[in-house]
Structure 1
C-alpha cells in the first residue's frame, strides 16, 4: 500500500492553495495520482481574479524593476539555497501530484537551481547596457538598454510543473518583470511552493501571482492583461495562444509537441543505446516533451538491439512508491492513460505487433500503463503520426544514413532527436541534417536540455522561440535604443548645397567601408 509522505499534511497543502483566488466559487479536486485520493480542493479563478492578479503584479513590478540587478540577483541566490534545502519536500509534492517515480521527480527539482545558478552568473553580462557606434564616427553613438516587458504570463504544463512553472519564472523575474503564473490544475502544488520560497528569499509580495482554471476559461483574459506569454504544451493549444498573442500585439515563446526520433547507426554501442532507450522511451512514463517515440535502428544491429531492448524493458520495475525503487511511475491521470491505451489499441487493430507491454496496470494504481514496444507501426496509425506522450515506442529498421535521416525528418514536429554512433564526426554530420531544435549525440535529451547556456526550442510545428541561453533571458526584455549626436553634422553645413553634401556623404560611406569603421 502506498504511504503518503508525512510532509504533505492537509494544513501544508491548504496553505499552498490559499494564495490562489477563487472568484468562480468552484474548485478542482486535486488528487494523489497513485491512489486517486483527494489532496486538496484547488480554487478556480474568475476573469476578475485574473485581471486583479495582473494589476497586482504590475504594481509590484514597478518597484522590482527599479531595483538594481544585483539586488534582484541577491534574492535569486537566497532562493537557490532554499530550493536545495527543501528539495526532498519538493520531490514529495511533485510525486504526489504527478505520479512520476521519485528519481524523475528529484531530477525535475534539480532543474530550477541549475537554471537559477546559470542566470545569476550570466545576467550581469547579458542585461548590461551596450554601447554601439552611431552613424557618424566619433560624433555619435547609440546605447542598447534592456527594459523588462512588464507582466509576463507563464502557462505551465502538468508533466514538469515545478521545472517549467518555476524555471521559466526565474529569468522573467531576473529581467525585472512581474509574473502571472497559470499552472495546470492537476499539478499546481509544486509551483505554488516555488513561489512561496521566492517570497521567503526576499521577492516582493505580489510580484508573482498564481491563477488556476481550465485553459479556455483562463487563457484569453490572462493574455489580454499580459505583455508577453511563455507557453509549454500541445501544438494545438500553442496555435491558439499564438493567435491570441498576435491579437494583443504581444510576443510569445511556445514550446510545443514532438514525435522525437532516435537513430542507432550501425557502428553504435548497442548496450549503451539500449540502456539510454529505456529512459528515452519510458522516462517519466513517456510524459516528456523531448522523449523518444520513434526508434530507428540500422538493420545490421536491429535484431540484437530489439532483443536486448525488449528484455531490459521487461525487467523494469513499475510501482507507486515514494522511494527511489521504481523505474517507472504512473501516468498523470486516468483520462491520459485511456488516451495512451487508445493509441496502442489502434496500432494493434491496424496490424502492429506488441513486443512487450500494451496493457494498463490497475493493480498498481488507477493510471498506470506498462512500458510498451511496438513493431510495424505505420503513418496511418495514431501511434505512427500523433504524439502519444506515454510509455510507448515504435521500432523501425533503416539501411543507410540517408534513409535514417529521411525517416527522422518525416514528421511535422522538430523538438528533439538522438543519434548514436562511435564515430563522432559521422554522428555530427547526421545530427546537422536532422530537422530538430535539439539533437543529442550518444544521449537522449539531458545533455541538450541541461546545457543552460545554449537556447533550447523547437523547429517546424514544435514551437517558436527558445528557453535557456542568452535568448532565454533577453526574450523577457524590450530593447531601447538611446542615440546621442554630439554635433549637428547629419545635414548640409552652412551654405553647403545638398548636392555637395550628397557627394560628401558618398565619399564618407566609401571611406568608412574601406577603413572598416562601419
Structure 2
C-alpha cells in the first residue's frame, strides 16, 4: 500500500457541532461523562453525557407519548418528513461525512456509501410506504359469506441497538421504516459514533419529526443495552453473535419480536472461468471497505489452482496500489481502524496466521507514522 500523506501530519478533524448535538442525549442532570477520540489522530472529539437505566425509562415514556400522536397522522404525512430529510441529507452531506470520518476513521468515499444508502432508504420508503401499509382484502373462511381485511398497526416503540462500523446506515437506516410505519424509536448507538445518529436526529427534527419520537441514550452496552431491550415492543439489534444470543433470549422471554444482524464468516470463491481483473477488483472492495470492519467483509478466498498465480498477481498489484491516508479528501482508498482494541485484534490475527505457517505477501504491519490506529 502507498501513503499519500507520507510527509504530512495526520489531518486535524473539522470543527463539529458537538455542543448542539449532545444536548439531544437523554441523560440525568449530573451524568457521568465519557470522552470519544478521533481514530485518525487520537485527539478528543466529544465529551458525552452517559445515560443511566432511569434515563432509558424516561426515554421510553417520552417516546410512547409521542408515538400515540404520530401514529394518528396519515402515512403520507409521516413519509413526507423523510422525503424532506432525503433532500437535506444530500444538500448537507459534507457535515455528516466529516462526522462519520472523524468518529470511525474511514475514508470519505466509504463514508459516502452510508449517505447514499440512507438517502435511497428514505426515498424508497417515502414513496412506497402507502402501498406497503395499505389495508388488503383476503379471502374469508367461508367464500362469499365472509370477508377478511389485513390491517397493519404500529408495534409501538422499537428498541434499536446499533454498532460503530456504519453509524449512519445502521442507525437511521433501520429507524426510517419503523418511524414511517407509525412507531417511535429508542436507540442506543455505540458511544464512539454517537454524534452521527445525533446529527441525523437534529436534521430530522428540522424536517418535522416530532421532538420526542426518536430518543437516543448513550452508555455502557452491558448496562444500557438490556434496559433498551427489556422495554421495547420490537427489538432491532446489530452486533456480535454472542450479544445477539442474549438479546434474542431477552426478547423471547417477553414474546417480543426481534431482528438480529450478527457477525459473518464470509468466503469468496474464484473459479477457472472468472474474469480475473474483475474478480481481483471486487476482492479488494470486499476485503478492505471501511478497513475490513464490516460484517460482510471477505475473510478468506478459495481460488482454483489453475488460476491461482494469475489471480494472486492481479490481487496483490491492486492491494499494493491502495492509498492510505488520515484525511478528509476523496483520494484515499483506506483509512484507520476505529480503536486500539481493533488494532490489537488485527495484529493478533496476523501474528497467529504467521505462527501457523501463513506467508504475508504484502503489508502485515502497523503504520503509526500515518496515524495511531493505521494497519497495512
1:121 CA displacement: 2.0
Which residue pairs with 1:2 in the alignment? 10
Larger radius of gyration: 1
- The higher-RCO structure (CA 8 Å, 6+ apart) is 2
* Structure 1 residue 161 displacement after superposition: 0.4
Please say if residues 11 and 41 of structure 2, whose CA atoms lie closer than 8 Å, have aligned partners that are also in contact: no
Q: Compare 272-281 and 58-67 and name the one that shifted more.
A: 272-281
Would you say the 8 A contact 1:4–1:322 is kept in 2? no
Hey, what's the Cα distance between the residues in 2 that align with 1:46 and 1:195?
A: 20
How do 1:400-439 residues align onto structure 2 when only pairs under 5 Å count?
none
Q: How does 1:477-496 map to 2 (within 5 A)?
A: none
Q: Which residue of 1 aligns with 2:130?
A: 124
Q: What do residues 210-244 of structure 1 show as CA deviations (whole Å, max 9, x unaligned)?
A: 00112101012111211011011111111111111
Deviations 1:26-78 (A, max 9, x none): 11211111001001101110011000001100100000011110110111111
- The correspondence of residues 314-353 of structure 1 with structure 2, limited to 5 A, is 314-353=320-359
Instruction: Determine helix, strand or coil for the equivalent of 1:263.
Output: strand
Match of 1:15 among 16, 20, 30: 20
State which of 148, 156, 167 in structure 2 corresponds to 1:142. 148
What do residues 75-124 of structure 1 show as CA deviations (whole Å, max 9, x unaligned)? 11111111111111111110000000111011111111101111122211
Gaps of 5+ in 2: 1-8
Please report the TM-score for the alignment, with normalisation by the length of structure 1.
0.70
Alignment of 1:17-96 (within 5 A): 17-23=22-28, 25-96=31-102
Deviations 1:303-355 (A, max 9, x none): 01112211221111111011011110000111111111101111111211111
Residue in 2 that maps onto 1:301: 307
Greater CA deviation, 286-295 or 60-69? 286-295
User: Is the 8 Å Cα contact of residues 161 and 188 (structure 2) preserved in structure 1?
Assistant: yes
| Alpha-carbon distance, 1:4 to partner | 3.6
Distance, in Å, in 1 between the alignment partners of 2:365 and 2:48 is 32
Following superposition, the deviation at residue 128 of structure 1 comes to 0.3
| Counterpart-to-counterpart distance in 2, 1:137 and 1:326 | 64
Q: Which residue of 1 aligns with 2:196?
A: 190
* CA-CA distance at 1:2 after TM superposition: 3.1
Does structure 2 retain, via aligned residues, the 8 Å contact 1:88–1:106?
no
Contact residue 314 and residue 356 of structure 1 kept, 8 A = yes
Residues 1:180 and 2:186 are matched in the alignment: yes
Secondary structure at the counterpart of residue 127 of structure 2 = helix
- Whether contact under 8 Å (2:79, 2:127) holds in the other structure is no
CA contact (8 A) 2:13 2:38 kept: no
Q: Which one is further off, 144-153 or 272-281?
A: 272-281
Q: Give the RMSD, CA atoms, in angstroms.
A: 1.1
* 1:5 Cα offset (Å): 5.3
Q: Deviations over 1:241-275 (max 9, x none)?
A: 11111122211000111111111110111011111
Q: How does 1:146-295 map to 2 (within 5 A)?
A: 146-295=152-301
Match of 2:106 among 96, 100, 110: 100
Contact persistence 2:26–2:215 (CA under 8 A) = no
Q: TM-score, normalised by structure 2?
A: 0.95
Structure 1 stretches of 4+ with a deviation exceeding 6 A read: none
Aligned mates of 1:217, 1:176 — CA distance in 2: 28
Secondary structure (helix, strand or coil) at the match of 2:306 reads coil
Could you tell me how far apart the structure 2 residues matched to 1:26 and 1:185 are?
Answer: 13
Report the secondary structure of 1:60's partner residue. Answer: helix
1:143-168 C-alpha deviation (Å, 9 max, x unpaired): 11100000001111100001110100
Which residue in 2 is equivalent to 1:515? none
Q: Distance in 2 between matches of 1:140 and 1:4?
A: 69
Residues in 2 aligned to 1:244 and 1:238: alpha-carbon distance in whole angstroms: 10
* Preserved contact between residue 160 and residue 237 of structure 2 (Cα < 8 Å): yes
